[in-house]
Amino acid sequence: MIAGGYTKKCLYCGRINSASALACAGCGASEFELLPPTYFPPAQQAVVPPYSPPRYAPVVQLSPAIRFLYFFFIGFFVVVYWLLFATLFLVTIVAQPLAMAMYRAVPIVATLSRTPPPLGVAMSAGWRESVERYRAAPTWGRVLAPLVFVGCLVALVMLTRG
């Protein structure tokens, strides 16, 4: 029941909807029975589909010789810059998910290994971790951390000017 107001019961599926609903949330029908405010419906179970992990296409690896040559002639140098940019992104608050995804992708960049998860999945996982860390932080930490970061940037600029 909606607090202090009427509710609507769908005539087709029997689902309880809010008084402002134009269509049933369960079946989409638009015909309702108005229920008085004293009516307490039984608890409705939410239908949650079972979890199934994402499916990936079969992975075809490059030959070990090509990957070995790539690592020694190109991959090693690329990874140095890759980690430098990832560390640079890590100190910013906005780009932390990208930095986490870049750290997870280091073996792929260094050796051209083709292993799931792809960068998009790693980036979304990094974003979820950052959001969870932000929500778990105390309020003073959520306010103080950006202020300290901006203060450090301002101090760095002031030191380089003089």
- How many other CB atoms are there within 10 angstroms of residue 104's CB atom? 17
Q: How far apart are CA 85 and CA 150, in angstroms?
A: 19
Tell me the pLDDT tens digit for each residue of 24-49.
877 777 777 777 666 566 666 666 66
Residue 154's contacts (CB-CB under 8 Å, 6 or more residues apart) are: none
Task: Give the position of tokens 């992708």.
Answer: 105
DSSP secondary structure code for residue 50 in this structure: P
Return mean pLDDT, the chain.
77
Q: Please say if the pLDDT value at position 98 is more than 70.
A: yes
pTM for the structure as a whole: 0.40
Q: What are phi and psi of 8, to 5 degrees?
A: -120, 140
Write down the pLDDT at residue 81.
93
Question: What mean pLDDT is predicted for residues 2-6?
Answer: 55
Both tokens assigned to 117: 């998860």
Asked which of 14-28, 78-92, 100-114 is least confident by mean pLDDT, the reply is 14-28
What is the percent of the chain with per-residue pLDDT over 90, rounded to a whole number? 10
Q: From CA 112, how far away is CA 67, in angstroms rounded?
A: 6
For 93, phi then psi, to 5°, come to -80, -40
Distance CA 59, CA 72 (A): 23
Task: Write out pLDDT tens, residues 117-139.
Answer: 555 555 566 667 777 777 777 77
